[in-house]
Structure 1
Amino acid sequence: MVKAAADRVAELEEREQLTDEQEKELAALRPKAQQWQKHKERDANRYRVGKAAADRVAELEELEELEEREQLTEGQAAELTVLRPKAQQWQNIRNIPRSISGWERLLPIVLRSWRSWRSGSS
């Protein structure tokens, strides 16, 4: 329904002349079209964040392999030190049961981040 509204808004906006009825329809459909656009942007952002996290995990695994072979540079060792706690946090997020609602799943993470921020550590 919302996508159909967005499609109809795009169709009406392409026209040079609109009847009064079409202008009213356009005004009524615009909020739904905006909702659709926000939904698309949110999904795209979620994908980017997930992709970045997956890339970082792959990078972590690569660094851990280098560590096992004792081939880490100082910079890579420092990066590994930073990535390990984040990887643990990502793992903790994945281990939260799906039966728990969104906010309930995020609450422990938000509280942990807030406490970390309040204490001045990163």
Structure 2
Amino acid sequence: MEVLAGRGRLTVEQEAELAELQPKAEQWQKKKEEGDAARSLAGKVAADRVSVLEVLAGRGRLTVEQEAELRELRPKVAQQKQKQNESAAEVSQGKNGCCRSCCGVGGVGGAGAAD
């Protein structure tokens, strides 16, 4: 609807609906961003903890609890790293669709293609 509003093509009913939905959409977006930030921070903390525990393990100084913690965190951190690598690969290969649809960059023969 915002696209239509930008073009000046909304009916009175659509304008009212848009005015009603925009605050809800903004609130949802803010909650999503906060959740994303919390997950990102938690992932970084886990990765840091794995690094510390691995250094201690290399020195032979892990307690039984720390060994259990390391066994629990390693797969989670590895999975997070794999997701990050896949996401980075998608962006670098233009699979996110942005550059192809908006700019023509990334596609063969697109507006951004080298001649």
Tell me if both proteins adopt one fold, taking TM over 0.5 as the criterion: yes
Matched, 1:41 2:31: yes
User: Equivalent pairs: percent with the same residue?
Assistant: 27
Question: Gaps (5+ residues) in structure 1?
Answer: 3-24, 103-122
How big is the alpha-carbon RMSD for the aligned residues of Structure 1 and Structure 2?
2.1
Q: TM-score, normalization: structure 1?
A: 0.58
Cα distance, 1:90 vs structure 2: 1.1
Q: When you count helix as a share of all residues, which structure comes out higher?
A: 1
Amino acid at match of 1:50: S
State how far apart, in whole Å, the 2-side matches of 1:27 and 1:86 are.
42
Q: 1:93 aligns with which of 57, 78, 83?
A: 83
**Highest relative contact order (Cα 8 Å, sep 6+), 1 or 2?**
1
Partner of 2:46: 56
* Number of aligned residues: 79
Question: Gaps (5+ residues) in structure 2?
Answer: 3-14, 98-115
* Structure 1 stretches of at least 4 aligned residues deviating more than 4 Å after TM superposition: 25-28
Please give the per-residue CA displacement for 1:34-64, whole angstroms capped at 9, x wherever unaligned: 1001000000000000001100111111101
Amino acid at match of 2:95: I
